[in-house]
């Protein structure tokens, strides 16, 4: 009990020290200091500082001691996960991990570059997110490899998950209405807009003074916010910029999907669904591995 008490005191001290230390105090010796060894794998003050800032930014209501406890537990668990995966021959490529994360973020209307810039604007090192992602991906492979026989995922499950991803996605759409022209001229203008499309921003600039064109930007639109038949089109053409031209109440409507989505592959979705089915076994496996690990807190 006394050991645990002093361990918590030490971690809280490290948290305050690393979050509020001034730039003039940060030198190579301080930054590289090892605070924990997990089965021989070092966790440094830099690791702790980066993750603590990330956790605190995502959970501003957490108390400092809660941030400290969560930070050290995450880092220890991730070191154990990577070690267990590597022992069974599972490897990873940081480039592939980055690409997978970028694809996921793009399906949500952003990118890894944009997300990294956002983190850096909050003085958070994006590398802590990549490290977190690496541990998650190799651990998923490890659990699937060990417990795959207990999971049951069908093609119908995969397609249903894809549909839910699209339904819950946020789209940036541009609704362009062409009116006060003959139907033939309106269609001709609509086809010209589509054939010369470069970006939604360019459309706003090109057609802002055209009295026959009304443009409405729809930010963060869900499928449920989109009128038919465009909602049905978008469900199928989520990865395309333009949707079929429509004549609605004698107005010609062009709908642009400004940021097309890229969904995970069937294989990636299957692994994700298997991982969810096997979460119980993953939690149990991690507890057992942690009990058998050598965790050495440094002074």
Per-residue pLDDT tens for 263-287?
888 988 998 899 889 999 999 999 9
pLDDT band (50, 70, 90) for residue 29: very low
Question: Quick one: average pLDDT of 177-192?
Answer: 91
Cα–Cα nearest to 277, from 163, 157, 137, 164 = 157
Burial class (CB in 10 A: 0-12, 13-18, 19+), 22: exposed
178 near 252, Cβ under 8 Å?
yes
Does the pLDDT value for residue 23 go beyond 80? no
pLDDT of residue 226: 92
Dist CA 82 CA 98 (whole Å): 17
Q: Which of 2-16, 43-57, 156-170, 200-214 has the lowest mean pLDDT?
A: 2-16
User: Residues 168, 172, 178, 184: what is their CA dihedral angle, to the nearest 10 degrees?
Assistant: -70
Dist CA 193 CA 254 (whole Å): 8
Q: Give residue-wise pLDDT tens across range 195-239.
A: 999 999 999 999 988 999 999 999 889 999 999 999 999 999 999
Query: 3-state DSSP: the chain helix, strand, coil percent, rounded to 5?
Result: 60, 15, 25
Does the pLDDT value for residue 8 go beyond 60? no
Higher per-residue pLDDT: 113 or 1: 113
80 near 145, Cβ under 8 Å?
no
Dist CA 86 CA 96 (whole Å): 17
Dist CA 110 CA 262 (whole Å): 11
pLDDT of residue 32: 67
Element holding 18 (H helix, E strand): helix 2-20
Q: Which residues contact 173 (CB under 8 A, 6 or more apart)?
A: 217, 218, 221, 226, 234, 255, 256, 257, 258
């Amino acid at each position: 009990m006394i050991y645990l008490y002093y361990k918590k005191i030490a971690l809280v001290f490290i948290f305050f020290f690393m979050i509020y230390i001034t730039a003039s105090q940060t030198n190579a010796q301080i930054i590289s200091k090892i605070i924990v060894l997990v089965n021989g794998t070092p966790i440094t003050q830099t690791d702790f500082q980066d993750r603590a800032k990330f956790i605190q930014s995502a959970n501003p209501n957490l108390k400092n001691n809660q941030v400290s406890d969560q930070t050290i537990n995450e880092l220890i668990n991730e070191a154990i996960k990577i070690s267990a995966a590597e022992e069974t021959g599972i490897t990873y490529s940081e480039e592939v991990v980055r690409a997978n994360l970028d694809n996921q973020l793009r399906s949500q209307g952003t990118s890894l570059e944009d997300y990294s810039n956002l983190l850096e604007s909050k003085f958070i090192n994006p590398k802590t997110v990549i490290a977190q992602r690496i541990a998650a991906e190799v651990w998923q492979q490890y659990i699937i490899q060990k417990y795959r026989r207990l999971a049951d995922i069908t093609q119908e499950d995969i397609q249903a998950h894809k549909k839910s991803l699209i339904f819950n996605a946020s789209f940036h759409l541009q609704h362009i209405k062409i009116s006060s022209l003959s139907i033939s001229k309106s269609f001709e203008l609509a086809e010209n807009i589509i054939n010369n499309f470069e970006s939604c921003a360019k459309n706003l600039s090109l057609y802002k003074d055209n009295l026959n064109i009304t443009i409405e930007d729809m930010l963060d639109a869900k499928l449920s916010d989109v009128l038919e038949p465009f909602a049905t089109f978008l469900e199928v053409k989520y990865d395309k910029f333009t949707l079929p031209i429509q004549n609605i109440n004698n107005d010609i409507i062009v709908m642009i999907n400004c940021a097309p989505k890229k969904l995970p592959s069937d294989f990636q979705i299957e692994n994700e669904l298997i991982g969810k089915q096997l979460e119980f076994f993953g939690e149990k496996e991690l507890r057992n591995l942690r009990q058998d690990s050598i965790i050495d807190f440094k002074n």
